[in-house]
């Protein structure tokens, strides 16, 4: 194992190289572009043996990945924001045709107005497409998760595509020390992909034909949900396996930070969790009993784990870096659907923060913890709004 | 050319669900005769997404991937790469799309694949409208054609998009027009497309749709003949930029002979048809000039 200084995007690229991906479909979009640049360079320099398809759009990137995956190859693409939105239709085809594609999505706001900064609206809008979604907090986690995602996605109990999220600029373009596992270790962890589908003249099989209402459509959808559910224990197995081989800690579906004896907890995803960690450290110094719960896996949603949070803490704050217009923060609505099944659900505060890259500092999060401690908060609060702008 | 040039092999089984007299069904049958069993198909949304029959059945004796409307050329690009990685690079990968999926919604992915010189065959079976959704105009619909979105009073006035010319402009190794009423010419072009490697090959078939063209299904082969006899659908190929007319009618019939047997053209006035005859004649002269100049 070597330690290198990598940006989040370089960490993705190195993970894809270590995973011995065979076909990449690449299309540029800020702030993802340096991922596909990194991979092009790796192939050009002979560090990686891989077909590289320079498609003309993200829609075609996903379409090409589906074709390559059905052809039997391990595939990868990366995108962000509008690129992910353009892929939307093909995301359904990828999961419906059970192609275990792994994609990195650099979380970025959708326009208008044009905005290239961090925001989770892009991937939240794809939560119903049948993709596994994992959100990273550090560049180390980005690298580890991309490699692990292949093993989860390609597991025969799962066979679903997986999306690994990293926050725009905060991770994608920020350099952090990353422990790089040896290729031999990853080869042991992740054997070559053996597809279940076979598009070959030997088989004459047909993938994706139509199903009338009394055909297998509904059963296939149920099978996808069964596979999603199966991916939770598979994810745990894969993490444990990876931990054993690399010595990296298994982070779990949700990661808790200083929740022991906490009266209130904040739930955060991605790099906002790192900000909240600093707040927790500061507040703990002051004797405040606060903790952090970081939600890593959003699809499948860890309902059981969320319920255990609700059973253990009286007040739960939720940071949302996205918004569903006419409804609320998507992390909050998902969590509430779990928490409301409890006989004695906790008090929940939904915070909308950091949209379009709006800065959220540890001091801001500390104020939110203060609201939770005091029990004085509205059901939903938008944080850091400026007056008189609109 | 002898009819014996059409292979006996049948890779389209019975049990398909095409309408009677479907030009797309005959086109698939002939295409697979030419392409042979070592072929994998990619079919986007189009009539053929239904014709192949419902899950888990198929009438195609070659492996097939169905996909989204605009995605055929990109899925085919990926499939070829995947098969190549897995040691099956000798399998011919062919996208088989309708005119809407080619000239309209799929043109971006097709243009991208052709520019990248993907080692695939792209087949457009052109029935000159969105037939699977019930006869709506596409970019490949000729002017004056009745469709449900160009009813009388809301006529299409713009010319049919010239897809073969667009594909020639991509400087791909092979572009050809085909007509299933000319089976020998059809199969010869498919075989040539299969034999050429290292670039995208584009085959554009005029595929009769009796339902949308409004004529009796029994007339399908005859209507197809009239299309080429009248030069409304000239048969030519462009190999590495060199044009060649592959079949010339010994006796040319007026374009009205082709049009009058189809209900979709029934709203046209004699003046309209004169105009269409003029544009057909001009295009033929242009084609002849290209064939002698290249």
The pTM score is 0.97
Q: Provide mean pLDDT across the span A363-389.
A: 97
Domain A2-246, classified CATH 3.40.50.970, yes or no: yes
Q: Hey, which residues 261-280 in chain A have their CB within 8 Å of chain B? A: none
Residue A390, classed as helix, strand or coil, is coil
CA–CA separation, B201 and B182 (whole Å):
20
Contacts of A157 by beta carbon, 8 Å cutoff, 6+ apart: A227, A230, A231, A234
Name chain A contacts of B75, Cβ cutoff 8 Å.
63-64, 66-67
pLDDT at B56: 87
Count other Cβ atoms within 10 Å, centred on residue A200. Answer: 18
Question: What pLDDT does A203 receive?
Answer: 85
Give dist(CA B146, CA B280) in Å, integer. 19
Place of tokens 């990926």: B78
Q: Which domain holds residue B7?
A: 3-293
Q: Each residue of A12-53: pLDDT tens digit? A: 999 999 999 999 999 999 999 999 999 999 999 999 999 999
Number of domains in chain B: 1
pLDDT of A59-97, one tens digit each? 999 999 999 999 999 999 999 999 999 999 999 999 999
A171-221 pLDDT per residue, tens: 999 999 999 999 999 999 999 999 998 899 988 888 998 999 999 999 999
Q: Which pLDDT value is given to residue B3?
A: 53
Q: What is the architecture of the domain spanning A254-382?
A: 3-Layer(aba) Sandwich (3.40)
Contact A201 B37 (CB under 8 A): yes
In this prediction, residues A319-324 reach a mean pLDDT of 98
| pLDDT at residue B1 greater than cutoff 80 | no
Best CA proximity match to A104, nearest among A17, A178, A189: A17
Predicted pLDDT of residue A297: 97
Average pLDDT (A296-303) is: 97
B interface mutation test: which of A199, A211, A212, A213 has the most B CBs within 10 A?
Answer: A199
Residue A300 is predicted with a pLDDT of 97
User: Backbone dihedral region of B195: left (phi > 0), alpha (psi from -120 to 50 degrees) or beta?
Assistant: alpha
Report pLDDT for B215: 98
List the domain boundaries for chain A: 2-246, 254-382
| Nearest Cβ partner for A59 among B42, B71, B115 | B71
CB contact, 8 Å: A208 with chain B?
A: yes
At B197 the pLDDT is 86
Phi, psi of A207 (to 5 degrees): -115, 120
The CATH number of whichever domain residue B244 belongs to comes to: 3.40.50.970
pLDDT tens digits for A242-293?
999 999 999 999 999 999 999 999 999 999 999 999 999 999 999 999 999 9
Interchain pair B78, A198: CB under 8 A: no
* Contact call for residues A331 and A366 (beta carbons, < 8 A): no
Residue A377 has a pLDDT of 96
In the numeric block, which tokens belong to residue A24? 């990449």
Contact between A245 and A281 under an 8 Å Cβ cutoff? The reply is: no
Percent of chain B surpassing pLDDT 90: 95
- pLDDT of residue B5 exceeding 90, the answer is no
The Cα–Cα gap between A56 and A34 comes to 17
pLDDT tens digits for B185-220? Answer: 999 999 999 999 889 999 999 999 999 999 999 999
Contacts of B49 in chain A (CB under 8 A): 209-210
Cβ(B235)–Cβ(B228) below 8 Å: yes
pLDDT band at residue B2, thresholds of 50, 70 and 90?
low
Please tell me which of the candidates B63, B84, B111 has its beta carbon nearest to residue A205: B63
End-to-end CA distance of chain A: 52
| pLDDT at A26 (0 to 100) | 95
Mutate to test the interface with B, among A21, A64, A221 (most CBs of B within 10 A): A64
């Amino acid at each position: 194992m070597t330690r290198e200084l990598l940006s989040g995007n370089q960490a993705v690229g190195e993970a894809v190289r270590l995973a011995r991906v065979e076909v990449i479909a690449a299309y540029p979009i800020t702030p993802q572009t340096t991922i596909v640049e990194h991979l092009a360079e790796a192939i050009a320099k002979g560090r990686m043996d891989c077909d590289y398809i320079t498609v003309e759009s993200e829609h075609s990137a996903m379409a090409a990945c589906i074709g390559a995956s059905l052809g039997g190859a391990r595939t990868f693409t990366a995108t962000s924001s509008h690129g992910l939105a353009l892929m939307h239709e093909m995301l359904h085809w990828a999961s419906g045709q059970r192609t275990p594609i792994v994609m990195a999505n650099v979380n970025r706001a959708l326009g208008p107005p044009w905005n290239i900064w961090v925001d989770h609206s892009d991937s939240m809008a794809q939560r119903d497409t049948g993709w596994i979604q994992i959100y990273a907090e550090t560049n180390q986690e980005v690298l580890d998760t991309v490699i692990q995602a292949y093993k989860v996605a390609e597991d025969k109990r799962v066979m679903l595509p997986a999306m690994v999220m990293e926050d725009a600029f905060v991770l994608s373009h920020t350099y952090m020390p990353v422990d790089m596992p040896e290729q031999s270790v990853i080869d042991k962890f992740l054997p070559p992909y053996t597809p279940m589908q076979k598009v070959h003249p030997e088989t004459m099989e047909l993938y994706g034909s139509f199903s009338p209402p009394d055909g297998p459509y509904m059963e296939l959808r149920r099978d996808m949900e069964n596979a999603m559910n199966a991916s939770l224990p598979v994810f745990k197995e894969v993490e444990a396996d990876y931990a054993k081989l690399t010595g990296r800690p298994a982070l779990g579906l949700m990661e808790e930070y200083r929740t022991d004896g906490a009266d209130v907890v904040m739930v955060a995803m991605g790099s906002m969790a790192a900000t909240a960690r600093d707040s927790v450290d500061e507040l703990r110094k002051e004797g405040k009993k606060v903790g952090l719960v970081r939600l890593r896996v959003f699809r499948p949603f860890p309902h059981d784990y969320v319920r255990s949070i609700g059973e253990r803490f009286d007040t739960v704050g939720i940071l949302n870096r996205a918004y569903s217009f006419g409804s609320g923060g998507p992390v909050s609505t998902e969590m509430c659907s779990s928490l409301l099944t409890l006989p004695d659900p906790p008090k929940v505060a939904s915070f909308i923060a950091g949209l379009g890259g709006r800065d959220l500092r540890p001091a801001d999060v500390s104020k939110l913890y203060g609201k939770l401690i005091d029990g004085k908060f509205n059901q939903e609060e938008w944080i850091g709004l400026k007056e008189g702008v609109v | 050319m002898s009819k014996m040039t059409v292979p006996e092999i049948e890779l389209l089984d019975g049990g398909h669900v095409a309408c009677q007299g479907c030009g797309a069904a005959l086109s698939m049958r002939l295409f697979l005769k030419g392409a042979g069993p070592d072929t994998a198909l990619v079919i986007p949304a189009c009539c053929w997404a239904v014709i192949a029959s419902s899950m888990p059945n198929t009438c195609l004796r070659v492996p097939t991937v169905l996909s989204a409307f605009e995605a055929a050329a990109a899925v085919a690009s990926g499939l070829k790469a995947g098969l190549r990685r897995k040691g099956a690079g000798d399998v011919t990968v062919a996208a088989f799309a309708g005119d809407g999926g080619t000239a309209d919604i799929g043109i971006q992915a097709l243009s991208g694949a052709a520019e990248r010189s993907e080692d695939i065959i792209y087949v457009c079976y052109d029935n000159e409208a969105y037939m699977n959704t019930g006869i709506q105009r596409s970019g490949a619909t000729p002017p004056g054609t009745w469709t449900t979105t160009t009813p009388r009073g809301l006529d299409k006035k713009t010319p049919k998009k010239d897809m073969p010319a667009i594909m020639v402009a991509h400087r791909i190794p092979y572009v050809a027009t085909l007509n299933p009423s000319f089976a020998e010419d059809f199969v010869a072009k498919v075989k040539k497309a299969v034999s050429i490697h290292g670039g995208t090959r584009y085959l554009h078939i005029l595929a009769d749709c009796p339902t949308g063209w409004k004529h009796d299904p029994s007339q399908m082969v005859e209507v197809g003949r009239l299309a080429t006899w009248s030069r409304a659908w000239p048969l030519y190929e462009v190999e590495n930029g060199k044009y060649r007319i592959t079949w010339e009618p010994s006796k040319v019939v007026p374009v009205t002979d082709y049009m009058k047997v189809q209900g979709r053209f029934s709203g046209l006035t004699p003046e309209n048809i004169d105009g269409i005859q003029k544009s057909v004649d001009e295009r033929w002269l242009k084609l002849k000039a290209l064939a002698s100049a290249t």
